Amino acid sequence: MSKPVLNYFSICGRGEVARLVAAAGGVEFEDKAWAPAFDETGGWRQGYAAIGNAHGFPGVLPVLEHGDLKLFQTTAIESYIANISPKYSSLTAEQKAQDMMFQLIKSDINGSTENLLFKKITADDLTATMNKWYPIIEGLLPESGFINKLDYPTLADIAMMVVAKGCMPFQAAPTIAGCAPTPDKYPKLFRIANATAAYEPIAKFIKASEHQTLKADPFGLMPAEYKDS
């Protein structure tokens, strides 16, 4: 079968966990990283809708194409890539459930932070939401090791790394709102994020990334020191 093809923007957002899971799990894939662009209404440029519409999906990204299989919905794409990977296909039902819980937390945060950037909510609204989520995450994370107690990160760890380190919208929106998490306040979150980023297949992928999607900041929303953090 041909390589999976991931259609998403050249930013972090809803596509980055899928990219990193493929890298960590040993799945070769084609990353169609489209330039983010907006139409006159502030929504994604209409041309991108055709990618999903061609398969009977809503006009949203990401969309995964793998032979006859076509998928939208972020968590479905992430989980499928993990399930076909040599690294993650043998995870237990308990480990996969734990992963999905953190994947969905990440997706909830994605929605809230994205809404601030699209001006659907206020900075105060986002601050209230993130002041709920960050302590919940910190309370769920282990004091040491990865979340599933393996010697390598799984989807749960990767999802939390994206929450802690990804620019658009995970760090960009809280930075604008003045509620971005810090290592001193959420040490377990940043410990997991740093350990996951240091895992060799992930570190190698990030270094070689053509568009540097994890920290891509096409709209110049972050301070200069962010890229070195």
> Can you give the pLDDT at residue 219?
87
E strands in the chain: 5-9, 30-34, 63-66, 69-72
> Can you give the pLDDT at residue 35?
86
> Can you give the pLDDT at residue 228?
79
> Can you give the pLDDT at residue 134?
98
- Structure pTM? 0.95
Q: Which residue has the tokens 């390598």?
A: 152
> Can you give the pLDDT at residue 192?
98
Weakly modelled stretches of the chain, pLDDT under 70: 1, 37-46
User: Does residue 173 lie within any of the structural domains?
Assistant: yes
User: Does residue 125 lie within any of the structural domains?
Assistant: yes
57 Rama class: left (phi>0) / alpha (psi -120 to 50) / beta: beta
> Can you give the pLDDT at residue 95?
98
Give the structural domain span for 105: 93-198
CATH number at residue 152: 1.20.1050
What is the bridge-based pairing of β-strands 69-72 and 30-34? unpaired
User: Does residue 160 lie within any of the structural domains?
Assistant: yes
Distance separating alpha carbons of residues 158 and 17, to the nearest angstrom: 6
